[in-house]
Amino acid sequence: MTALYKTIYDSFRVSILNGTLDAGQRLPSSRTLAAELNVSRNTVLAAFAHLEAEGFTKSIHGSGMYVRNIPRTKFQLSVKKEKSNIIQENDFSVSFRAEADEKSFPFHEFSKITSRIYRESKFTADNSLEKQISSWLHIKRGVKADPEQIIITNGSQEALFLLAFYFLKEKRMEGVVMENPYYRGAENVFSKFTKRIQYIPVDERGMDLKQFPDCKNALVYITPSRQFPLGYTLSIERRLELLDRAKKQNLTVIEDDFDSDYRYSGEPISSLQGYDQNGNVIYTGTFTKVLYSGIRLGFCILPEKHLNSFLEIRSLLNQPPAPLVREVVAEFMRSGKFHRHIKKMHGLYRDRKEKMQLLVQDDLGKILDIRSCDSGLHMHAFFKKKTAKENLIHSFRKNKIEIYLLSDYFRGRCRKEGLVFGFAKFNDRQRIRAVRLLKKALIEAGL
CA distance 340 to 402: 31
Which residue(s) pair with 22 in the sheet? none
**For helices 41-53 and 30-37, angle between their N-to-C axes, nearest 10 degrees:** 120
Q: Provide φ and ψ at 355, rounded to 5°.
A: -70, -40
The residue that leads in pLDDT, 65 or 89, is 65
CA distance 112 to 107: 8
The reported pLDDT for the residue numbered 49 is: 86
Torsion of CA 250, 255, 256, 261, to 10 degrees: 180
Q: What is the pLDDT of residues 2-31, one digit of tens each?
A: 567 778 888 888 888 877 788 888 888 888
The reported pLDDT for the residue numbered 2 is: 57
Q: What is the pLDDT of residues 310-329, one digit of tens each?
A: 999 999 888 888 888 889 99
Greatest C-alpha distance within the chain: 68
The residue that leads in pLDDT, 121 or 239, is 239
pLDDT over 70, % of the chain: 93
Across the range 353-362, mean pLDDT stands at 96
Confidence of residue 158 (pLDDT cuts 50, 70, 90): very high
Q: What is the pLDDT of residues 70-99, one digit of tens each?
A: 776 655 555 444 343 333 444 678 999 999
206: how many CB neighbours lie within 10 A of its CB? 24
Across the range 428-440, mean pLDDT stands at 96
pLDDT score of 358 more than 50: yes
Across the range 106-125, mean pLDDT stands at 80
The reported pLDDT for the residue numbered 88 is: 40
The residue that leads in pLDDT, 201 or 39, is 201
- Determine contact, residues 235/275, Cβ cutoff 8 Å: no
CA distance 444 to 95: 18
Give 44-79 as a DSSP string.
HHHHHHHHHHTTSEEEETTTEEEE------------
Which of the residue ranges 8-17, 193-202, 346-355 would you say has the lowest mean pLDDT? 8-17
- Determine contact, residues 167/219, Cβ cutoff 8 Å: yes
Helix (H) or strand (E) holding 229: none
The reported pLDDT for the residue numbered 343 is: 93
**Mind listing the domains of the chain with CATH numbers?**
1-80 (1.10.10.10), 128-335 (3.40.640.10), 340-444 (3.90.1150.10)
Across the range 413-442, mean pLDDT stands at 94
Across the range 189-200, mean pLDDT stands at 95
Residues whose CB falls within 8 Å of the CB of residue 301, separated by 6 or more in sequence, listed in order: 137, 143, 145, 149, 150, 151, 273, 282, 283, 284
Which of the residue ranges 101-110, 198-207, 361-370 would you say has the lowest mean pLDDT? 101-110
Across the range 380-395, mean pLDDT stands at 93
Burial class (CB in 10 A: 0-12, 13-18, 19+), 121: exposed
